[in-house]
Amino acid sequence: MDSDSELNMSWENEFIRSTDCEVTYSPEPMDKIRVQLLFVNSQNQIHNSSVHTYPLTILNDSSSGSELSESSIMRIITSNRHFQNKRYQCESISLYCLSIEPEHLFNNVLKPEFIIDHKPYFKTFYIPQNIHIPPSLFIFHSINSIWVIFRELERVIIPPPKQIVSSIKSSNKKTKRVRISNDPPITIGKTRKRQLFL
């Protein structure tokens, strides 16, 4: 069997690591992350979603974690502005990263009342920026993800240009000033035209 036809066994390492607590005890920086794209229509309904995986830049100090750069996020946004002949804009970007302290997790996970509060691990951004992903336990790497919400842009009806031009013309018309008087006009010089009325 040649190398091209061999099975990809990388999942085996992940499985072993997931079941071996000694290996997964310390948080690790992520080298890739799932990005979930949600498309919301004008009726506030999610009418499509897709999942992609993007590489992350591991920071020099690996204990600081990794990040998805602002330029990568801008590429994600610009490449998904149009979908099914409709225009969308990025409404928000959210990060869910379960970076719980291992000691806290392992000391409490068997307690029936133990609950992981999701609030500290969920952040929302309204403008593109570098997104920092802190180190987390290997078993949570597949759960950690970025969510990008795109909202459909509604069409605005603009009146036809002809109406706009005619309304501008009508507003620019000059008005004649008329004075009403009970006295007839006084004529000083007699011209042929005025003689007819005398």
Q: What is the pLDDT along the chain (198 residues), one digit of tens a residue?
A: 444 445 555 555 655 555 555 555 788 999 999 999 999 998 889 989 999 999 999 998 767 899 999 999 999 999 999 988 889 999 999 999 999 888 888 888 888 898 888 888 999 998 889 999 999 988 899 999 999 999 999 877 777 766 555 555 555 566 666 666 666 666 565 555 544 444
Residue 128 lies in a domain: yes
Q: Report whether 86 contacts 48 (CB < 8 A).
A: no
CA angle 168, 174, 177 (to 5 degrees): 150
Residue 40 lies in a domain: yes
pTM of this prediction? 0.66
Residue 37 lies in a domain: yes
Residue 54 lies in a domain: yes
| Total domains, the chain | 1
Residue 183 lies in a domain: no
Residue linked to tokens 């005619």: 166
Residues spanned by the domain of 91: 10-152
Residue 193 lies in a domain: no
